[in-house]
Structure 1
Amino acid sequence: MIDAGSLNERVALDKRERVSDGAGNYRADFAEQFQRRAAFVYAGGSEAVVAERLQGRAILKVRLRKDLLSKTIGTDWQLRDVRRGTVYAIREVDAVTDPLCVFLTVISGVAS
């Protein structure tokens, strides 16, 4: 069961959007879609996790409440930790396993 006390982090979910630069050109920048409360679950010591840590990257599991907006998150989005400012690339989205939550696997320190 998920309770509000376990969602002690604040994250912003950003989607890449085509933005005009005012000179007739367009560029793709991330634009915030929404913010949510979340729980961070630090990944264990698998071989992939250890390899990423050696390269200065962190892999996290993030749990969000499932709603209409959170079900639209894709692997082409990014997650930002609002409090710390860390940006994470979203590698995996699981909106099926749990009827109440969306689980994200995210990695810091990589270009999105």
Structure 2
Amino acid sequence: MKISDLNRRITLLEPSLSKDADGKAVQGWANRGEVWANIQHRPGSEAFQQARLEARDPATVAVRASTLTRRMTSMWRVETDRVVYEISSNPNLSQDNAFVTFQVEGQRK
């Protein structure tokens, strides 16, 4: 992977708890920043084909490794202008520690 392959802007969202007016806990999403990413849709395997039929839009995402992206877990989300992706696997560092990659499943907005 090369830096020039990162051609999509995504927003990183971390789960956060807040309280509503009645004092009840409310699950929300805190915007942690925007980064450039490479999103590869993988239509090849049978599992990916089945996921597409169920409108889950599976993909592999790569972002440049940074303090922020190394903090991500499978609890986070990423968002583009058209799709919200749930991270479905814990992010992994590339062998050269330059990129973080993870699997996602998306739902169109």
TM class by smaller structure? 0.7 to 0.9
Number of residue pairs aligned between Structure 1 and Structure 2: 106
TM-score (norm. length: structure 2):
0.88
TM-score (norm. length: structure 1):
0.86
Give the Å deviation of 1:64. Answer: 0.2
Q: Percent identity over the alignment?
A: 25
Partner of 2:39: 40
Q: Which runs of 5+ in 1 are unaligned?
A: none
What are the Cα deviations for residues 54-111 of structure 1, in whole angstroms up to 9, with x where unaligned? Answer: 1122111111000111000000111101x32x101101211254410000110013xx
- For 1:11-90, list aligned pairs within 5 A: 11-81=10-80, 83-84=81-82, 86-90=83-87
Q: For residues 84 and 2 of structure 2, what CA distance do their matches in structure 1 show?
A: 25
Q: CA RMSD in A?
A: 1.5
Bigger Cα displacement from structure 2, 90-99 vs 67-76: 90-99
Q: For residues 65 and 14 of structure 1, what CA distance do their matches in structure 2 show?
A: 16
DSSP-derived class of the 1:28 partner: strand
